[in-house]
A and B are shown apart, each in its own frame.
Chain A
Amino acid sequence: MHSLLSKSKILVVDDFAQFRQTIKTMLVRLGATAVDQASNAAQALTLCMGNEYDIFLCDYNLGEGQDGQQLLEELHERSILRKGSLFLMVTAETTSAQVMGAIEYSPDTYLTKPFTAEELAQRLKRLILRNEKLQPIHDAINAGKMDKALLLCDLVMAAESVTRFSCLRLKSEILKQQKKYDQAFELLSDVVQQQPLLWAVLGIGQIYFIKQDYENALEHFLQMRKDFPQQVNILDWVAKCYAALVKISEAEEALLDAVKISPKSVRRQVELGRVAQQLEHHDIAQKAFEKTISQGHHSCLLKPEHYKSYFNATQAVSPGLGPREKSRILATCEAAAKRMESKYQGDPTALAVNLSSLSVLFSSVGRANQSDAYLSKLSSALEKPGCLISVADFEHIQQNLNKLGDKKANKRVLGKISNRMKTMKEKIKEWQDNEALAIGINRIGMAYAKKKQLKEALDKFREAYKLSPKNQNFALNAAQLILMQDEFKNDPQLINEARSYLDTLSFENSGAHWKLYKELIGYLPDE
């Protein structure tokens, strides 16, 4: 055990300082040398930016803010949890966490408080040993060698029959990722025939959904709802199916049921907000987006457009409200606006879009001074050099400006913005032309790269990037070429160039681009 833990970097997350210390003491007695502590999810995420942890010991209940399950989901979303790292969820009582969690992201094990040092040691040892058996498969998956991973699943399963279901589960995930849906379906059906395990039953439903067989998917998830009554997140899938079948009211109903049981999920609140918006149920949408903003404060799932939806929905509901309720939701809005402004300080585009909505909102409730204040901020956001506005955002802002024009907003500021918008419109036209051109040039670059004419390829990527710095593909291509080719990767000047490309990029999401980006960052030598 001593040697097993001495190599691991461990993070303990608990809002209860004394308990954190107890666990740390236990771990140190078991041979751990690198144990960090965090008292909440936000702190944990910050620590994860600078450290790669092998083991997380996290309390489910973290007081205010995100809970342990949300932290787990966040770690997945941000690709911080690698295949093979361990997440142990500590719960005060055995039953609540299991119920709330998304099945897609379950921890490696649950530990119920109180537990002894020996129990912790036992559990860790077992998980580490199990992981060792699966390590070759995890390595192959992390390296993107999926065919090899599949083969290894069969080998490991044959050698260690106790890993059978872990291997089958991994195998079904790989097959799904490879879009071999029929094979995955068959595998999962076999498992379900032996025992209707939650992950397998869920997997079948997901495959129906991916194959756009929404009728069967819906029927499947409705049945699941009966068989696994405590799994709230099945309702999310039910809603997804209804939405895909354009039964929006039914989707809304399912999501309303789900948020009643478990309101903390950011993704769920966003979905509810969206369907309610479609149905023009502004009060429901307003509440859902308000929850999205408050729950999602530290979450990577919270996007600038959610603020926009929130401000717009608030504007839509405010005429029907009594004075007290109105001043409450406006006060909440103001607080959210403040956080939005500090959150997107470096993103003038997001600022501009949201400030325009805010200005309209406060003008519509008769608070002209506040409206003008947001308008001035909008003006300065638009002046910032980094403000690159898409066509859709441009139109959104323009529409809002038109509304404000009718409302006697500050003429001087409005005039200034209007001039700025005119230049922007020309710029957008130019960008659109440049973008088209750049895509063509990038394509030529790819062809060069294929033919191993690397210098020529790099020049083309540079050219494409120069024409359209907004399109992240070009910067990514240039950086990839430099960092992954022997010819370039030792040239310090080129390395710096690659670094500057990567610096301009920002991905909040998971996905292929994000993975590549992370990988490339890994290739950069330390400064």
Chain B
Amino acid sequence: MNDNTNMFDTLLASTVHDMKNSLSLLMNELEVMGSKLERSNENRQTVSSLRYEASRINISLMELLALYKLEKKQISIQIEEVAVADVLEDYVAAHSFVAKNRDVQLHFECDDSLIWFFDPVFLHIVINNIVGNSIRYTKSQVIISAFVVDHQLCIQIDDDGQGYPEQMIDSVEQFSKSMDVDTGSTGLGLYFASIIAKNHIRQKRSGDIVLKNNEKLTGGCFKIFLP
């Protein structure tokens, strides 16, 4: 039985490796293709959408794999010291192509000297997903900000779209409610975010996520707290 599990793990790892290589090529080619097209070219929009969809597949793939491995205790949260402004800059860089093509302003706000302790690898997946969705639903702007409040780091993502539905804000725990076949939202992103937040434990406090509307901007606001 043990051998079967090992076989499956190996198969999973190698298949994911292979899929990611394909996705990598796809995304890079689309990016190069898109950057060669004139801004007015109608195909540019299509290329940008394809690029965005590819990155959504990629993020979901990573989330599923990470959840599987967390569940199987093959990986755990690895806390490092992180220069927060640096990683926010990374998040912006990862999305700037799609944001530009959708005429969305994307920027971050954070004190340059802020250092915090968390797992940058997992946070990268969490924030990428949320920012990707925000860009999709916003009208014109997305702001990523980070600051310390009540001895916790808060990373916050604001947009000026329609905001989160009320029932989602009230029961962020019950993610099944956020499943919406029409928009393609499965709740995976938020579920993943909350699992990662809860796994960040420091001095007996664990992290959490909160949804709000109308905070910095007129749309939705996602907050993840890391002790």
Contacts and interface: CB of A to CB of B under 8 A. Distances in A.
B93 A122 contact: yes
A509 interface: no
Given A198-B78, A229-B73, A114 B28 contact: yes
B117 interface: yes
B93 A230 contact: no
A97 to B, nearest CB: 10
Given A22-B24, A93-B13, A113-B20, A122 B80 contact: no
B94 A116 contact: yes
A327 to B, nearest CB: 26
A384 to B, nearest CB: 46
A19 B202 CA distance: 40
Nearest to B61: A93
Contact of B20 (A92, A116, A122): A92
B25 A19 contact: yes
Contacts of B157: none
Contacts of A92: 16-17, 20-21
A161 B113 contact: yes
Interface residues of B, number: 46
Contacts of B174: none
Interface string A77-121: 000000000000000111110110000000000101111111101
A162 interface: yes
B31 A117 contact: yes
Interface residues of A, number: 39
Nearest to B112: A162
A162 B81 CA distance: 10
B65 interface: yes
Contacts of B85: 162
B18 to A, nearest CB: 8
Interface in B106-124: 112-115, 117, 121-122, 124
Contact of B16 (A18, A93, A228): A93
Contact of B81 (A112, A117, A197): A197
A230 B97 contact: no
A162 B96 CA distance: 25
A74 B55 CA distance: 34
B89 A126 contact: yes
A229 B90 contact: no
A230 B81 contact: no
Contacts of A443: none
A356 to B, nearest CB: 40
A228 B27 CA distance: 35
Interface in B62-79: 62, 65-66, 69, 73-76, 78-79
A165 B115 contact: yes
Contacts of B114: 162
A95 B13 CA distance: 10
B89 A162 contact: no
B112 A18 contact: no
Interface string B121-136: 1101100000000000
A16 interface: yes
Given A121-B93, A123-B90, A195-B117, A95 B24 contact: no
A95 B85 CA distance: 23
A477 interface: no
Could you say which of B16, B20, B24, B94 has the most chain A C-beta atoms within 10 Å of its C-beta?
A: B24
A95 B68 CA distance: 12
Contact of B115 (A26, A94, A99, A164): A164
Contact of B121 (A95, A114, A122): A95
Contacts of A118: 93-94, 96-97
Contacts of A165: 81, 115
A61 interface: yes
A115 B113 CA distance: 26
B90 A119 contact: yes
A114 B96 contact: no
B86 interface: yes
Nearest to A196: B79
B20 A229 contact: no
A230 B27 contact: no
A197 B73 contact: no
Interface of B: 13, 16-17, 20-21, 23-28, 31-32, 55, 58, 62, 65-66, 69, 73-76, 78-81, 83, 85-86, 89-90, 93-94, 96-97, 112-115, 117, 121-122, 124-125, 202
7 contacts: A95-B75, A116-B94, A122-B93, A161-B113, A162-B112, A195-B79, A197-B117
Given A16-B21, A92-B20, A98-B78, 15 more contacts: A93-B65, A95-B66, A95-B69, A98-B121, A110-B121, A112-B124, A113-B21, A117-B28, A121-B93, A122-B90, A162-B83, A195-B79, A228-B76, A228-B78, A230-B78
Interface of A: 16, 18-19, 22, 25-26, 61, 92-96, 98-99, 110, 112-119, 121-123, 126, 160-162, 164-165, 195-198, 228-230
Top-5 shortest CB links A-B? A114-B24, A122-B93, A92-B17, A165-B81, A92-B20
